[in-house]
Amino acid sequence: GAVVSQHPSRVICKSGTSVKIECRSLDFQATTMFWYRQFPKQSLMLMATSNEGSKATYEQGVEKDKFLINHASLTLSTLTVTSAHPEDSSFYICSARAGTALSGANVLTFGAGSRLTVL
């Protein structure tokens, strides 16, 4: 089946530094990828939609200058958390649509997630 790979799975950084998270579709091309964030005991919240070859679309309340998204190829999207602060500590998950699925046209495949801890 479709696989979405996310790297790194865990990262710890100092406050003020930038962190890049990669999301790759391994066996399919994804013109669109989605970035979610999950705080402890909360639901996954959509942050932005990453579009190959064009600008990302951000959800209301998400700072585009803070969370830089680049979708340079059909298999890779990156999320860069710039000047990270402790409040950015969270679980970041990417997802992609692997073409049309027999079980439903709206099914997304998720990566394993990246846990960011900002000290």
Residues in contact with other proteins, shown as a per-residue x/- string from 30 to 69 under the rule CB under 8 A: --x-x------xxxxxx--x--------------------
Q: Which is nearer to other proteins, 52 or 82 (CB)?
A: 52
69, 81, 84, 93: which one contacts other proteins (CB under 8 A)? Answer: 93
Residue 116 C-beta: closest distance to other proteins, Å:
13
Handedness of CA 71, 90, 65, 81 (dihedral sign): negative
The helix (run of H) or strand (run of E) holding residue 95 is strand 90-97
Q: Which stretch binds other proteins (CB under 8 A): 13-21, 68-76, 78-86, 109-117?
A: 109-117
| Residue 88 DSSP code | G
Question: Within its chain, how far is the Cα of 28 from the centroid?
Answer: 17
